[in-house]
Chain A
């Protein structure tokens, strides 16, 4: 209940700020931070609550983006319908990858490597086959209208991505207060003990990766609608995978607000450095890397862990 009130408050604050701000720079900042929050929260469902550290979450992101594009370009779908397809297919890819890897008990660094490999396989396939447009990628024709999920102003996109973020927050809040969530965290902390208490680890992790895949797919679809372009390197490359996991780890894994905090802090840092260093390409990744190292060394429970410590003392 308390979580739900906070989620509603969060939505109100974001909407008020969006309504009040007119500067394109700030609106873009809010949009990209919410988008990063969505990536981080999706990763958090599997990585934070399930303890399965994926290094290839771009797999689900790219699947979402490509399904969103192909359904519109080749299937003639309305983008809103395409969005449903994108979410469902990404969830399905999550379930398929999970079924395979968890069936064979892959954990820890093995799981991370396998997810990375899956993302690379999808990237290479996307380069090689025809219906993805190969290395050239796919371009969405410009046609601004809400029915077409293309908005003249950033405000429309912010509302859309805020909707996804709220759904992700609601699911995460549910993970904290439900049997499924308790079993997932039990599997994370000690799989054998969980099994002895009647928890099916395979099914539990499968549920988590499916949920996680669905939200990554929504993020991919959103990306396509905003930038109207996707290619294999953007869709399945490491950038998105890294952004998702860094946001969650910096913010605090297995918490509700950590990924929100992590995405916000990282994007603030990226903005600041962009002002300091000019448009040095990739500087934000350098910053992410440095922050990640510092957090892992000094704050293994992330910024949310730091807040907890303050609250207690």
Chain B
């Protein structure tokens, strides 16, 4: 079957910094895949290129058979591709319910129907008891849930999750993984495809069926989580040149 999202030779440079270089990948329908890589590898930039927040210098983004390269983010959201932000972006002055309703309004015109939908989504991500709190009063973990809820409320076909676990303490990560898991399980039923950027390997191993590894703007490896974590290039990208050989030596 044709991929839901394919990137073909995507590149962008900021001045002399080549943030993303010739990246091609295909996201299969109804899959949960992950994009990993060291800090500064260009993961978030790649998300921005997919969702239309940045225009690539070269290459193509094809979503559901349509070339959407450089198309405005709100049009992509309407077409069914919604991203979250690594640095959470709540509508701080508004309540949790109102925040999520903005997402729900994408497909629901009526105010009360959108608020009711917001309530249902909030319960799914575990924010059901904080509906009337201003978003500014939420903890970091709460804001991550809110980010997720708002995106879900748009009823996406492709959900781009940018580090929904980053900045959480181990306990919060432990609480959040089942939330993401449940969404993915529901998602499979509804045919939602999820692509996540994640640093927390526990989550990647737990959730993703396929992993892409980005380092210095280039795709250096891909495969199942087990395959990529044993890949020498991946280990070196994270831990430095020559590490793989030393680790092998130490193990022998």
Please give me the residue from chain B that is nearest to A180 by CB atom: B105
Chain A residues lying within 8 Å of B106, measured Cβ to Cβ, are 197-198
Is residue B154 within 8 Å, beta carbon to beta carbon, of the partner chain? Answer: yes
- Min CB distance A310 to B, Å, is 18
8 Å CB interface, B82-135 against A = 82-85, 89-94, 98, 101-103, 105-106, 108-111, 114
Given A195-B73, A195-B74, A196-B51, check contact A179 B105 (CB 8 Å).
yes
B92–A189 touching, CB < 8 Å: yes
Q: Is the CB of A200 within 8 A of B74?
A: yes
Q: Does B151 contact A (CB under 8 A)?
A: yes
Residues 128-158 of chain B: 1 if any A CB is under 8 Å from the residue's CB, otherwise 0?
Answer: 0000000000000000000000110110000
Would you list which residues of chain A between 83 and 115 have a CB under 8 Å from chain B? none
**Nearest chain-B residue to A204 (Cβ)?**
B74
- The residue of chain A having its C-beta at the shortest distance from the C-beta of B101 within the complex is A182
Nearest Cβ distance between residue A44 and chain B, in whole angstroms?
15
Cβ of A190 under 8 Å from chain B: yes
A side interface size, CB within 8 A? 20
Query: Does residue A4 face the partner (Cβ distance < 8 Å to B)?
Result: no
**Binding site of A, secondary structure by majority: helix, strand, loop or mixed?**
helix
Please name all residues of chain B whose beta carbon is closer than 8 Å to the beta carbon of A186 when the two chains form the complex: 91, 94, 102
Is A140 located at the chain interface by the 8 A CB criterion? Answer: no
Asked if A193 and B111 sit within 8 Å, CB to CB, the answer is: no
* A177 CB–B CB distance under 8 Å: yes
- In the complex, chain A residues 175-189 whose Cβ is within 8 Å of any chain B Cβ: 177-179, 182-183, 185-186, 189
Complex contact A192–B105 (CB within 8 A): no
Tell me if B89 and A193 are in contact (CB < 8 A).
yes
* Shortest Cβ gap from A184 to chain B (Å): 10
Q: Which of B72, B84, B151 contacts A195 (CB 8 A)?
A: B72
A190 vs B103: C-alpha distance in the bound complex, in angstroms? 13
Q: B98's closest neighbor in chain A, by CB?
A: A182
Please tell me if the beta carbons of A197 and B111 are within 8 angstroms of each other in the complex. Answer: no
A179 adjacent to B114 (CB under 8 Å): yes
CB <8 Å contact, B91 and A198: no
A179, B154: Cα distance in complex, Å: 14
Across-interface contacts of B89 in A (CB, < 8 A): 190, 192-193, 196
Which residues of chain A have C-beta atoms less than 8 A from B83's C-beta? 196
Please tell me if B77 contacts chain A, counting CB pairs below 8 Å.
yes
How far, in angstroms, from A178 to B89 measured CA to CA in the complex? 22
Q: Is the CB of B73 within 8 A of A177?
A: no
B contact residues around A170 at 8 Å (CB):
none
Residues A182 and B102 in contact, CB atoms below 8 Å apart: yes
Q: Which of B78, B91, B106, B153 has most chain A Cβ within 10 Å?
A: B91
User: Is B53's beta carbon under 8 Å from chain A?
Assistant: yes
Q: Which residue of A lies closest to B153 (CB)?
A: A197
Is B77's CB under 8 angstroms from A198's CB? yes
Expressed in whole angstroms, the Cα–Cα distance for A178 and B77 within the complex equals 20
CB closest residue in chain A, given B103: A197
Known: A182-B102, A182-B105, A186-B102. A197 touches B150 (CB 8 A): yes
A195–B101 alpha-carbon span in the complex (Å): 14
Interface pair A177/B111, CB less than 8 Å apart: yes
B109: A residues at CB distance < 8 A: 179
Within 8 Å of chain B (Cβ to Cβ): is A127?
no
B-chain residues with CB within 8 Å of residue A189 when the two chains form the complex: 90-94
How long is the Cα–Cα vector from A199 to B77 in the complex, in angstroms? 8
A194 at the interface (CB under 8 A from B): yes
| Chain A residues in 8 Å Cβ range of B78 | 198
**Chain B residues near A195 (CB-CB < 8 A):** 53, 72-74, 77
- Could you tell me the distance in whole angstroms from the C-beta of B132 to the nearest C-beta in chain A? 12
A190 CA / B135 CA spacing, docked (Å): 12
- B51 lies within 8 A of A193 (CB): no
In the bound assembly, the distance between CA atoms of A196 and B83 in angstroms comes to 6
Query: Which residues of the partner chain A approach B154 to less than 8 Å between Cβ atoms?
Result: 197-198
Assess the B82–A182 pair: CB atoms within 8 A.
Answer: no
Q: Which of A8-45 contact B (CB under 8 A)?
A: none
Q: Can you name 25 A-B residue pairings with CB atoms under 8 Å? A: A178-B111, A179-B109, A182-B102, A182-B105, A182-B114, A185-B93, A185-B94, A185-B98, A186-B91, A186-B94, A186-B102, A189-B91, A190-B89, A190-B91, A192-B89, A193-B90, A195-B72, A196-B89, A196-B151, A197-B150, A198-B106, A198-B154, A199-B102, A200-B74, A201-B74
- Inter-chain pairs besides A189-B91, A194-B74, 10 sampled, C-beta below 8 Å: A182-B105, A183-B105, A185-B93, A192-B85, A193-B85, A195-B77, A196-B89, A197-B106, A198-B78, A200-B74
Q: Which 3 A-B pairs have the closest CB atoms?
A: A198-B77, A189-B91, A193-B89
